[in-house]
Amino acid sequence: MENILLNKKDGYAIVTINRPKALNALNSATLLEIQEVVKDIEKDENIKAVILTGSGEKAFVAGADISEMADLNTVEAYEFGKRGQETFSLIENSKKFYIAAVNGFALGGGCEISLSCDMRLASNNAKFGIPEVTLGVIPGFGGTQRLPKIVGLGRAKEMLATGNMIEAEKAERWGLVNDVYTQEDLLDEAEKIAKKVAKNSSYAISGGLEAMNQATQIKLEDGLELEALVFAKAFSYPDQEEGMKAFLEKRQAKFK
Ligand code: CAA
């Protein structure tokens, strides 16, 4: 692959978007490569967590590629938007736990790909924004739908209409990122979380994520029913037997 680096480790993977000269901007080729990598990881039973980050020290991802978008007509723009949306939905609906390690600018499509991850960590130089209005367009890779669910409607609309960037510290206050670290420590801290996740039950992680993803989409009673079903199904997997037996035997569970 030209624009993505994939580093599979024990139990987790690190995916790096690697177009540093364009601040890791997402062109069509990169979106397709991300799809390929996400699908590959999905099939890999040894991987339970994925860290998504950007190359270099300046940007996580500076957005969709403006040079590719500049000459699109409406039909092409629809297709480009759909491609980005589909790519990010693969991440959001994945059975693996995605951690965005935001190491610099996360603008437009860069902010949006981080929103499709299960959690976000940031370096203290990170800046988040959806500056599309300054280009005469709107966020087209899921930002109008996912950002309000994470930071609330008022804050999301402020970011949309002003195009302002928000610093890592404010992003943390707004609940957009879970924690902020120095750039030097960011990846190590993300790896600590990935390693912890990798020790837990695959079924329980993916089942819990599936149920939580529905929390803001469906009625409470339907969500509770889904939770009951996923909970019950866990009892048909060996992980439940091992997890509970290990607790009772006062030892660490060993999940396959
Ligand atoms: N697309 C294409 N190229 C980009 C890019 C993008 N989104 N962002 C940066 N680049 C390129 C620049 O054109 C420049 O290339 P050259 O060296 O060949 O000129 C290189 O990356 C370095 O960028 P700058 O010289 O601009 O660096 P800077 O430090 O002066 O500024 C920045 C950094 C503030 C992030 C600035 O690059 C910037 O504002 N980038 C665009 C951010 C943006 O508007 N993102 C939203 C895109 S639209 C979108 O994402 C739509 C959607 O939802 C689908």
Mean pLDDT per 10-residue interval, the chain, length 256 residues: 97 98 97 98 98 97 98 98 98 98 98 98 98 98 98 98 98 98 98 98 97 95 98 97 97 94
List Cα–Cα distances, 33 to 56, 80, 100, 140, 206, in angstroms. 19, 14, 17, 19, 23
Q: Atom 4 of ligand 1 has which residue's CA nearest to it?
A: 22
Sheet with strand 12-17: strands edge to edge? 4-8, 12-17, 49-54, 97-102, 119-123, 179-181
Residue 46: closest CA among 6, 77, 12: 12
Distance CA 64, CA 192 (A): 30
Residue 50, pLDDT score: 98
In the block, tokens 């951690």 appear at 99
Residue 256, pLDDT score: 83
Best of 66, 80, 114, 144 for a ligand 1 pocket test (most atoms within 8 Å of beta carbon): 66
Q: Which atom of ligand 1 is nearest to the CA of 112?
A: 53
112 is catalytic: yes
| 132 Cβ closer than 6 Å to some ligand 1 atom | yes
Residue 235, pLDDT score: 98
Number of Cα atoms under 13 Å in the Cβ half of residue 254: 2
Query: Which of 79, 112, 167, 241 is an active site residue?
Result: 112
Rg, C-alpha atoms of the chain: 19
CA 22 to centroid of ligand 1, rounded, Å:
7
All residues at 6 or more sequence positions from 146 whose CB lies less than 8 Å from its CB, including other chains:
92, 112, 115, 116
249 is catalytic: no
